[in-house]
Amino acid sequence: MREWYIARAKERILPRVVKRARELGVSFRQARIVDNRYRWGSCTVRDNINLNWRLIKAPIFVVDYVIAHELAHLLESNHTPRFWNIVKTQVPNMDKARVWLREHGQILEEEV
Ligand SMILES: [Zn+2]
């Protein structure tokens, strides 16, 4: 079951990373679907984007927010006002997405 979710996450999420990176005008080294109990996504110091397979359970506007958030870190590593401006330009309803992630944080703990 988990493998199925991971495969779906790769199909559904990775192409969106490519598309959004193009829109934002940034390039990353590699985008990966990962298994992480603590984070929805991360951007590594080596410009790799990691996204939690559990995002497959989230609405698409939330997926887009997490992608935009991690890609914005390629331009601004800290959560500065400039950073949030970049994300908001990409995802106008980012506040709604952040609320969703907060309210559904328990999904990160789920086994499947
Ligand atoms: Zn961040």
**Look-up of token digits 């506007």:** 61
Q: Give the Å distance between the CA of 64 and the centre of ligand 1.
A: 14
CA distance 73 to 79: 8
pLDDT in tens, 21-66: 999 999 999 999 999 989 999 999 899 999 999 999 999 999 999 9
Cα distance between residue 72 and residue 74, in whole Å: 5
Superfamily holding 2-109:
Metalloproteases ("zincins"), catalytic domain (3.30.2010.10)
Cα–ligand 1 centroid distance for 96 (angstroms): 16
Question: Measured in angstroms, how far is the CA atom of residue 41 from the centroid of ligand 1?
Answer: 8
111 has pLDDT over 90? no
pLDDT given at position 112: 78
Q: Which residue has the tokens 């996450």?
A: 9
Distance (Å) from CA 84 to ligand 1 centroid: 9
What is the distance in A from the centroid of ligand 1 to the CA of 90?
15
pTM of the model: 0.95
Q: Output the CA 47–ligand 1 centroid distance in Å.
A: 13
Residue ranges of domains in the chain: 2-109
Give the Å distance between the CA of 79 and the centre of ligand 1. Answer: 6
